């Protein structure tokens, strides 16, 4: 009768494959989560751009300029007309922002400068501690609705 013993169904679930899948998903999320949080934060206007408020015009803004050649200039110190390297910009801008945390921070770039250089300028300002960055434009020359 031993050979004819009745088989019982196993009532346990093998969870090893599920643990493997969960570990793979955990690794994927750990790798992709930092990539999703990187980037430059920009507050876009809800409507057409307007001139700066009177309060912002009276406060001396911190302006990072990018010329046609992609060189950076900062309106701080005695050498405003001299190009500055990125480390110098971060150091000077962080000094200004530590003294005046509510100072307006603006980027002024030539229209032929490639997009990557403008983003690079914003990243430098972000590293210096800027919470909001605006763009300077010439309203008389910049009209996206005008026919070419």
| pLDDT surpasses 80 at 62 | yes
Mapped onto helix, strand or coil, the DSSP state of residue 12 is coil
For 7-40, the pLDDT digits (tens) are 777 777 888 888 999 999 999 888 877 665 544 4
Query: Which one-letter DSSP state was computed for residue 84?
Result: B
Range with the poorest average pLDDT among 13-17, 55-59, 82-86: 55-59
Domain encompassing residue 82? 56-135
Give the separation between CA 107 and CA 29, rounded to whole angstroms: 35
Two structure tokens written together for 29: 């999320």
Does the residue 8 lie in any domain?
A: no
Q: Which of 27-41, 54-68, 70-84, 120-134 has the highest mean pLDDT?
A: 120-134
Q: Number of structural domains, the chain? A: 1
Give the separation between CA 139 and CA 115, rounded to whole angstroms: 20
Q: What is the CATH number of the domain that holds 96?
A: 3.30.420.270
Q: How many CA atoms lie within 13 A of 143 on its CB side?
A: 6
Give the separation between CA 45 and CA 121, rounded to whole angstroms: 20
Count helices and strands (H / E) in the chain: 4, 4
Compute the mean pLDDT over every residue in the chain, rounded to the nearest whole number. 76
Does the residue 116 lie in any domain?
A: yes
């Amino acid at each position: 009768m031993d050979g004819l013993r009745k088989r019982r169904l196993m009532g346990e679930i093998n969870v090893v494959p599920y643990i493997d899948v969960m570990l793979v998903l955990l690794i994927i999320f750990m790798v992709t989560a930092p990539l999703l949080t990187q980037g430059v934060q920009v507050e876009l206007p809800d409507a057409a751009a307007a001139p700066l408020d009177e309060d912002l015009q009276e406060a001396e803004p911190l302006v990072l300029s990018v010329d046609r050649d992609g060189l950076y200039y900062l309106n701080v110190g005695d050498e405003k007309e001299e190009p500055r390297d990125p480390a110098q910009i971060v150091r000077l801008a962080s000094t200004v922002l530590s003294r005046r945390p509510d100072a307006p921070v603006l980027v002024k770039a030539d229209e032929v400068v490639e997009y990557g250089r403008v983003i690079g300028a914003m990243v430098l300002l972000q590293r210096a501690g800027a919470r909001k960055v605006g763009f300077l434009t010439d309203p008389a020359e910049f009209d996206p609705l005008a026919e070419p």
